Structure 1
Amino acid sequence: MTPARPTVLLTGSTGVIGASLLPALAVHHDVTALVHRRRPEGATTCLQADLTVDGLGLDTGRRRELAAGIDAVVHCGGLTDFAPRDHAAFDTVNAEGTRRILELADDARVPVVLLSSASAAFEVTGDDLAARSMRAYGRSKRRAEELATHCGQPVAVVRTALLFAALRAATPPRHQFPHALFTVMLRARPGGLPVRPDHWTDILPMETLVDYVTALTGALIDGDTTAPGLHWVTAGPARLTAADLERACIEFLDEAGRPARGPLLADPTTPQPRTRGMARVAQLGFLPPDQPDMPSHLSRLLPSQVTRADVLRALAHNVRRCAPWAP
């Protein structure tokens, strides 16, 4: 008799991370996708619910049935908009939504993988719209992590860096920071990005995150006592500089017969019109060279740490797919 496969409850299954994670989890698990509007392909079961409503919007019987039929929760659902109309929405979805998922996990007595963000560890300064938005996002993720410490079940918190789109993704997520930034840079406006070449950002291949979260989910289901706790899933020492991004964009522009008319980066101290939009978000997303690498715990569950060559390959692939002149 074939043993039953564990069932994983996945939130955010149609989001940037969830859409890549679902098929990976489905290899060894049945996946129940908690959905709000769109329904993903590949899930064993889809259940409509709402992170912003107590009880997830489920009646007592359906909630009890859901809790009885799962072996773990992977919580990817959240709000990542650059500038929502109401910054309180970050707390409503990312923090209070997490509280409701943790309550379900307590009822079901199952472990949780909580997808957080490296933003939870940093406090962005500034009073412009971009800074306020990023600060509200980071605080909502930090509060979600704090709520996880009060859960009665094992919780593994995954702080991930920025992410490249998966190599097999149908289209790049243009609303996500790296890909919106590449699209802006490929417009090839000289000096359009006021960031120093040696400032850096941490962007991880999506496949690496998916492999890690899949392994972590299996470890929690198997009762691995070392699995709960904080996991930094980042590029670490394989971080990229602004010069790396500029070089990849210029090389692709040359290849495409649309050479840049000059450097794409500009000295941020040079007087210029007010920096706003993606240029301002980019300034906030890069760190100075004396800032230490982000921690990286990939070797806890994967054979090796991601290399700079891995990250550069993902960069070149993603830049090619963000050409603003493409259909």
Structure 2
Amino acid sequence: MTATRRTILLTGASGVVGNALLQHLGHHKVVCLVHNNAPEGATEHVRGDLTAPGLGLDPQDRHRLAAEVDTIIHCAAVTDFTAGADATRDLNVVGTERVLEFATESGAITHYVSTAFVARTDLTRSDVGEGMADPSDYLETKRAAEHVVATAGLPTTIIRPSIVIGDSTTGAITKFQGLHTLIRAVLKNTLPLVPLQPDAHIDFVPQDVLATAITSLVDSGTSFGEYWITAGQNALTTSTMIELCVEVGSRLGLEAQPPRLVNTDMVDRLIRPVFINPLPRAVRRRFDDMIAMTALFANASYFPSTLGDVPGCAPLSTDLLADAFTRGVEHLMRAQRLGQFAEEAA
């Protein structure tokens, strides 16, 4: 059955999720709301500002779009944990309010892309030390934005992906994420320890899987519900991911040594005061940033997963996740000229 062709207003088109969506929504008319330059692959775009009244659109553009748009996919968000509370709230909460104002005017269905990490309410650290990364600002604003969406009285869905990695087949991704930083550190032997248990589950979803799920919700005309696009109980463990990093690195010319896995209590009681505090400030800051990030996974329960409830989608298997992760490591090494790829570039 052919999906009804829709006119979609897409925010955040230059981000990882938005860019992946552009590759899946070709059977619809997609108008990208951009602040600066249009992303590659965008066939139509309008300039605006998510935090401004009327989305900062030229009145003529706004009137035209309100008459044409029947679907909104709202991906734009501040995801940088160092951005600060004010900038994060402006885009993540105020921007969502502005989008819903436009949805009221246009009568469009709104698909709001949130994060599965809204479920991790008790795992952010109140003390980030000398680090600059504070996940609490991001998570608080995503929870607030979800409340705005849920209470708007409009046709809306809330989509909660876990960490988004590259394409499951090629590993390619528009912009490397925090997880890639850790992978590179393992490959380069610059990460002697990771404050996680070996059996801690690191939930991620390939970008094409997420884009397929969102596209399916659009195609089916779904206008309500909450969707957890996650690996759930099949998420890979810390030890499995490190083993895969080491295996890929070795196969492609890097002899990586697996870092030691320790619990956070040991970090606070022994490792930081004895080994970290004497180091230069820049090193201490990077260490505290890592602690703030990994706290979201330490002692965490599984995310819910409702990927199988999305029309045409199925739960992610451990084998598929392991293959996708492997492709991501290979892509990272190729893009950053690590191992044998450094020799090929020389």
**TM-score, scaled to structure 2:** 0.84
Name the structure 2 match of 1:296.
Answer: 305
Name the structure 1 match of 2:280.
Answer: none
The alignment status of 1:284 with 2:303, answered yes or no, reads no
Are the structure 2 counterparts of residues 194 and 219 from structure 1 closer, same or farther at C-alpha, using a change threshold of 3 Å? same
What code does the residue aligned with 1:265 have? R
State the alpha-carbon separation in 2 of the partners of residues 325 and 212 from structure 1: 32
Are the structure 2 counterparts of residues 169 and 251 from structure 1 closer, same or farther at C-alpha, using a change threshold of 3 Å? closer
> Equivalent residues in 2 for 1:15-34 (5 A)?
15-26=15-26, 28-34=27-33
Q: For structure 1, which segment, 11-20 or 200-209, has the greater mean C-alpha deviation from structure 2 after superposition?
A: 200-209
Cα deviations by residue, 1:148-193 (Å, 9 ceiling, x for unpaired):
123232100001100111245755622x122122112111236232
State the alpha-carbon separation in 2 of the partners of residues 46 and 22 from structure 1: 12
> Equivalent residues in 2 for 1:1-327 (5 A)?
5-26=5-26, 28-84=27-83, 86-123=84-121, 124-128=124-128, 133-166=134-167, 167-168=169-170, 171=173, 173-174=175-176, 176-189=177-190, 191-220=192-221, 224=222, 227-260=223-256, 262-268=257-263, 269=266, 271-272=270-271, 273=276, 276-277=285-286, 278-288=289-299, 291-301=300-310, 302-323=312-333, 325-326=337-338
Local SS of the residue matching 1:245:
helix
State the alpha-carbon separation in 2 of the partners of residues 198 and 216 from structure 1: 33
State the alpha-carbon separation in 2 of the partners of residues 61 and 295 from structure 1: 43
State the alpha-carbon separation in 1 of the partners of residues 171 and 203 from structure 2: 20
Are the structure 2 counterparts of residues 255 and 233 from structure 1 closer, same or farther at C-alpha, using a change threshold of 3 Å? same
**Would you say the 8 A contact 1:30–1:43 is kept in 2?**
no
The count of corresponding residues between Structure 1 and Structure 2 is 314
What code does the residue aligned with 1:108 have? S
**Would you say the 8 A contact 1:126–1:132 is kept in 2?**
no
Q: Which has the higher helix share?
A: 2
What code does the residue aligned with 1:83 have? T
Are the structure 2 counterparts of residues 18 and 172 from structure 1 closer, same or farther at C-alpha, using a change threshold of 3 Å? closer
State the alpha-carbon separation in 2 of the partners of residues 102 and 285 from structure 1: 30
Are the structure 2 counterparts of residues 109 and 156 from structure 1 closer, same or farther at C-alpha, using a change threshold of 3 Å? same
State the alpha-carbon separation in 1 of the partners of residues 285 and 201 from structure 2: 19
What code does the residue aligned with 1:173 have? K
**Would you say the 8 A contact 1:90–1:140 is kept in 2?**
yes
Are the structure 2 counterparts of residues 8 and 256 from structure 1 closer, same or farther at C-alpha, using a change threshold of 3 Å? same
Cα deviations by residue, 1:219-266 (Å, 9 ceiling, x for unpaired):
23xxx4xx4121111011111111011101111222133223x43133
1:216: Cα distance to partner?
Answer: 0.7
State the alpha-carbon separation in 2 of the partners of residues 55 and 299 from structure 1: 37
Are the structure 2 counterparts of residues 245 and 212 from structure 1 closer, same or farther at C-alpha, using a change threshold of 3 Å? same
Q: CA RMSD in A?
A: 2.2
**Would you say the 8 A contact 2:171–2:330 is kept in 1?**
no
State the alpha-carbon separation in 1 of the partners of residues 139 and 132 from structure 2: 11
Are the structure 2 counterparts of residues 6 and 68 from structure 1 closer, same or farther at C-alpha, using a change threshold of 3 Å? same
**Would you say the 8 A contact 1:181–1:282 is kept in 2?**
no
Are the structure 2 counterparts of residues 185 and 61 from structure 1 closer, same or farther at C-alpha, using a change threshold of 3 Å? same
**Would you say the 8 A contact 2:228–2:306 is kept in 1?**
yes
**Would you say the 8 A contact 2:10–2:72 is kept in 1?**
yes
1:212: Cα distance to partner?
Answer: 0.6
State the alpha-carbon separation in 2 of the partners of residues 228 and 190 from structure 1: 43
**Would you say the 8 A contact 2:245–2:329 is kept in 1?**
yes
**Would you say the 8 A contact 1:173–1:179 is kept in 2?**
no
Are the structure 2 counterparts of residues 257 and 4 from structure 1 closer, same or farther at C-alpha, using a change threshold of 3 Å? closer
State the alpha-carbon separation in 2 of the partners of residues 60 and 257 from structure 1: 56
Cα deviations by residue, 1:84-103 (Å, 9 ceiling, x for unpaired):
1x322111001110110010
